[in-house]
Amino acid sequence: MEQDFSLDDLHEHYSFAADAGQEPLRVDKFLMNRVENATRNKIQQAATAGSVFVNDRAVKSNYKVKGGDVVRVLLAHPPHEQLLVPEEMSLDIVYEDDALLVLNKPAGLVVHPGHGNYTGTLINGLIYHFEKLPKNSNNRPGLVHRIDKDTSGLLVVAKTDAAMAHLAQQFHDKTSIREYLALVWGDVKDDTGTIDGFLGRDPKNRLLMTVFPDGDQGKAAITHYEVAERFGYVTLVKCVLETGRTHQIRAHMKHIGHTLFNDARYGGDKILKGTTFTKYKQFVDNCFKQLPRQALHARTLGFVHPKTGKKMFFECPLPDDFAGAIDKWQAYAQHKQLDNS
């Protein structure tokens, strides 16, 4: 049974309004589909602690959300934006001047605080090294753009308000250059191609992005790709972003039938192409162990310097985990070709 609860000392962390057509759904399942990195156990613990509210009343985890309900998660501590503290962290800076810096983010490092990641993020490291970073439109210090936790590669960080505004405008106007390397399941048919599909939250799983071909939902998203190397059951592709939507490459490549290798969230951590032979299964499992994340690397970044007007271009090599997986697939493809000759 719901109880009235004093909200005076609590801070809102998440708020969601259920669609008018929402079928009755347990609040813990409702929130799992909307809060990134939230497990059902964590949500149930929050409900037990009296931190989950529907229409400003504390509810238990078995409450059934209905159309029009406003679901909020309130906690005793302020949102992460107010909890940012400097943390000593080693940063792989490939370029720096008084206006900006470009760094190579390792896989596994969260870019900014979010549910379950209030500390240990790139932003915590940035504010340790740089005391006065400008805030972006989401109140995040220095960030012009972001890449996923388990994606490696290049990021540009603004050090002044002028640099932030100028760089953000370039990303908005699609004049920046961003090229990724992705290892995907399957033998990509065409050597080059363009994926033009509106991206939005999957209505069945809010942690996933999905393509809406009719454009009736989501935001416009365009990815250009080019095959770099073929290994039979997987393909290495270069992806150039014309837009920068959440999970854009991951969702777009799955949409055309080529899910990223070992992308657990989108189903790429299973054998999607290949044989049923035990040795092949062992080989793929070894590749998963070699590259325990989605096979995506932000290799190239280009933009116009906001202060000098000079065109800047950066490229960083594949990290060891990704390069090691490529080596394994190259060797496998060569042996397979010899066996068939």
**Residues with a known catalytic role:** 148
Q: Whose CA is closest to 174, among 228, 135, 219?
A: 219
Q: Tell me which amino acid residue 175 is.
A: T
Q: Which two tokens stand for residue 252?
A: 């777009």
SS (H, E, C) the chain: CCECCCCCCCEEEEEEECCCCCCCEEHHHHHHCCCCCCCHHHHHHHHHCCCEEECCEECCCCCEECCCCEEEEEECCCCHHHCCCCCCCCCCEEEECCCEEEEEECCCCCCCCECCECCCCHHHHHHHHCCCCCECCCCCECECCCCCCCCEEEEEEECCHHHHHHHHHHHHCCCCEEEEEEEEECCCCCCEEEEECEEEECCCCCCCEEEECCCCCCECCEEEEEEEEECCCEEEEEEEECCCCCCHHHHHHHHCCCCECCCHHHCCCCCCCCCCCHHHHHHHHHHHHHCCCCCEEEEEEEEECCCCCCEEEEECCCCHHHHHHHHHHHHHHHHHHHHHC
